[in-house]
Amino acid sequence: MEFKPEMGNGVDSWKEVNLIYNSALKEIGTKLEILNDEFQHVHQYNPIEHIKSRIKTPESIVKKLRKNGYESTIPNMVKYVNDIAGIRVICSFTSDIYRIAEMLINQSDIKVISVKDYIKKPKPSGYKSYHLIVTVPIFLSDRIVDAKVEIQIRTVAMDFWASLEHKIHYKFEGNVPEYIKKELVECANIVSALDGRMLLLNEEVQKKCASVADT
């Protein structure tokens, strides 16, 4: 059942939105922790370095609605803003990103709304990450509602780059000088090369350990 906020005063409706989306973050966060624990049990390896979550601020939601030409109402927030609840999963290696995404997508109670692979097809700025918009059921006392969550999965290096880019755009209020944009793209290429080399190095170590164990 699609989540539709109860009609009431603004404060009560916003409290309900917060309740639902915070619950959705808990649901997805728990799923990720269980997957990470299971991977450690089976493979003696944790693909997830850490997890960050947040609820978008009302000011940020209103800004996004206005940008897209929608009236600033709570029903519009729920219907048109897909990233009110956001969770970021930081992995060690690029291969972990696709492994985590696949394990989540295969869960029967998760419905995938959209997938954007900015790793295979980076943004012009150099930004890389794997984005999923999903819904997860929230079991309330009198009903079950589906809440949307945006999941971003990236490596530690990608996350460092994205954090710096965000700070730069905030500093220049979106009007970043061209030479800095070019430098960011070059740094993104270095990050990509580093991720690739670290992945190869890790695979080589795993092969070496496996061959030693077999002897």
Taking each helix axis from N to C end, the angle separating 94-105 and 178-214, rounded to the nearest 10 degrees, works out to 80
* Catalytic residue chosen out of the listed positions 16, 27, 59, 150: 150
Which is nearest to 104 in space by CA: 93, 115, 94? 115
- The Cβ-side half-sphere exposure at 113, using a 13 Å CA radius, reads 17
Pull the structure tokens for residue 88. 């970021």
Residues 10, 49: Cα–Cα separation, whole Å: 38
Q: Is 27 a catalytic residue?
A: no
Which is nearest to 74 in space by CA: 23, 17, 25? 17
- Active centre residues (catalytic): 150
